[in-house]
């Protein structure tokens, strides 16, 4: 994800604030697509792992061994990470347009 964030300032935007694949260097687009897809996959794997742990910890919530505020905070984190993953997937798809001949 660090590499993606470092590349984003090199992504050109159009007047509507959308990624402009025609104005951005194809190498930058390719790298952004690669890092965005990898970041989305990593987030999905992490969400799946924590979700599994939460399922096993559910009985502890009933016994109040786990604070319900912590579970709520995880829920909000999952929501934000899910939205971020969707953004990364859309960004990867947009930037991959260059690889299928839309650029230039």
| Burial profile 32-42: b = 16 or more Cβ within 10 angstroms, e = fewer | bbbbbbebbee
Domain of residue 84: give its range: 2-98
Q: Does residue 83 lie in a domain region?
A: yes
CA–centroid distance for 59 within its chain: 30
Does residue 6 sit within a domain? yes
Q: Identify the DSSP state of 13.
A: B
Classify residue 65: in a domain, yes or no.
Answer: yes
pLDDT tens digits for 58-79? Answer: 777 777 777 778 888 988 999 9
Instruction: Please state the pTM of the whole predicted model.
Output: 0.82
Residue 104 lies in a domain: no
Closest Cα to residue 81, out of 50, 53, 35? 50
Q: Is residue 75 part of a domain?
A: yes
The CA distances from residue 74 to 60, 82, 85, in Å, are 15, 12, 16
Number of domains forming the structure of the chain: 1
Does position 86 have pLDDT exceeding 90, yes or no?
A: yes
Residue 103 lies in a domain: no
Whether 27 is covered by a domain: the verdict is yes
The answer as to whether 56 is a domain residue is yes
């Amino acid at each position: 994800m660090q590499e993606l964030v470092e590349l984003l300032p090199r992504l050109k935007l159009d007047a509507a604030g959308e990624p402009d694949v025609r104005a951005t260097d194809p190498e930058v687009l390719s790298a952004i697509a690669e890092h965005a897809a990898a970041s989305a996959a990593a987030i999905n794997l992490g969400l799946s792992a924590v979700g599994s742990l939460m399922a096993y910890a559910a009985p502890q919530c009933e016994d109040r061994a786990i604070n319900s505020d912590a579970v709520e905070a995880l829920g909000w984190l999952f929501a934000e990470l899910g939205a971020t993953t969707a953004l990364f997937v859309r960004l990867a798809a947009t930037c991959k347009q260059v690889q299928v001949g839309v650029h230039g």
